[in-house]
Chains A and B, each alone.
Chain A
Amino acid sequence: MIEATEFTPLQAALGGALIGVAAVTLMWSLGKIAGISGLLRSAVFGPDADRAWKGVFLAMLVVSAWLVFRFGGFGFELRQGFPAWQLVSGGLLVGYGTALGSGCTSGHGVCGIARLSMRSILATALFMASGIVSAVVIRHGLVL
């Protein structure tokens, strides 16, 4: 089922600025790129001497998101009964694909484009394009 959502440019801009400040904070303090897929993989699977800070970063990301959602006035209505097969297949593809392609929306899309990395610019164009095709096909069927 398709549920319409409102265009929220102010929240989007504020949230985008916070994501940018977060990425800059990590670069300024630890010299690291805030790529969530890579941080998660090395925090969980290691081996990595940096697992402590990666674990703390990810844990605080979750806690802070929950606090802002629950108490910050930025809650939203949760979708109900979303098909499990889409979550499982989506998760597998995101997990494998971000490992193979060395990054996701944060590492390539935000940090990589900010560094003007040609690899990241290409990767972002590609996952945006395949994401659009995937979302359109899953919602509307093969439209062509």
Chain B
Amino acid sequence: MKRLVLAALAGALFGAGLVISGMSNPNKVLNFLDVLGPWDASLLVVMMVAVPVTAIGFKLAWRQSAPVCGGAFQNPPGRHIDGRLLGGAAMFGVGWGLAGYCPGPALTALAIAPREGLIFVGAMLAGGLLFKVTQK
């Protein structure tokens, strides 16, 4: 139960952050990526604040011997850099630039802009499913 409550809190903070930061607004995202258009640097500020806050918070959290709800801290080792990582990241970026949604903001669009959210998230899940069935 404690796990679910804390997961709910983290999700609520994340969702609020996406809207307040402007990440949920695909026009702002595309105006950040489109460096030849009416450039909007807001998303650079989002990353420049989110990354150090996370870095410091992770360091503090890792001082505990284990997470509050038990288990172990997930800290994926630096596996080798391969074509899957690079190809996947490149593909993701192309899709991001086509519509202005990455996965978090796309989920918020389900409630904020349902037409766009349903089409995009539906296609995104289809892409994930395609990966799942073709990799086995």
Are A74 and B19 within 8 A (Cβ)?
Answer: yes
Would you call A134 and B97 a contact (CB within 8 A)? yes
- Tell me, rounded to whole Å, the shortest Cβ–Cβ distance linking A42 to chain B: 10
- Total interface residues on A, CB under 8 Å, equals 113
Option from B2, B9, B67, B119 in Cβ contact (under 8 Å) with A31: B67
Chain A interface helix/strand/loop/mixed: helix
Chain B interface, number of residues (Cβ within 8 angstroms): 111
Residues of B within 8 A of A15 (CB): 16-23, 46
With both chains docked as a complex, state the minimum distance between the C-beta of B48 and any C-beta of chain A, in angstroms.
Answer: 7
Q: How far is the CA of A128 from the CA of B12 in the complex (A)?
A: 26
Q: Which residues of B contact A24 (CB under 8 A)?
A: 53-54, 57-58, 60-61
- B6 touching A25, Cβ below 8 Å: yes
- Taking CB atoms, residues of chain A closer than 8 Å to B36 are 136, 139-140, 143
Is the pair A2, B11 in contact by a Cβ cutoff of 8 Å? Answer: no
- In the bound assembly, the distance between CA atoms of A26 and B60 in angstroms comes to 13
Task: Given A90-B98, A119-B81, decide whether A99 and B55 contact each other with a Cβ distance below 8 A.
Answer: no
Whether B22 contacts A66 by the Cβ 8 Å rule is no
Interface residues of B in 1-46 (CB under 8 A from A): 2-4, 6-28, 30-31, 33-38, 40-43, 45-46
Docked CA distance A32–B72 (Å): 9
Please report the C-alpha to C-alpha distance between residue A104 and residue B104 in the assembled complex, in whole angstroms: 9
Give me the interface of A with B, judged by CB distance under 8 Å. Answer: 2-9, 11-34, 36-37, 40-41, 44-45, 52-54, 56-69, 72, 74, 76, 78-79, 82, 84, 86-106, 108-111, 113-119, 122-124, 126-140, 143
B residues sitting closer than 8 Å to A (CB atoms) are 2-4, 6-28, 30-31, 33-38, 40-43, 45-55, 57-58, 60-62, 64, 66-69, 71-76, 78-79, 81, 84-104, 106-108, 110-113, 116, 119-132
Q: Beyond the given A36-B14, A61-B12, A123-B88, please list 16 additional residue pairs across the A-B interface where CB-CB is below 8 A.
A: A11-B22, A12-B45, A12-B49, A22-B14, A29-B10, A30-B68, A40-B124, A57-B14, A69-B111, A91-B106, A94-B92, A96-B88, A96-B130, A101-B89, A123-B85, A130-B97
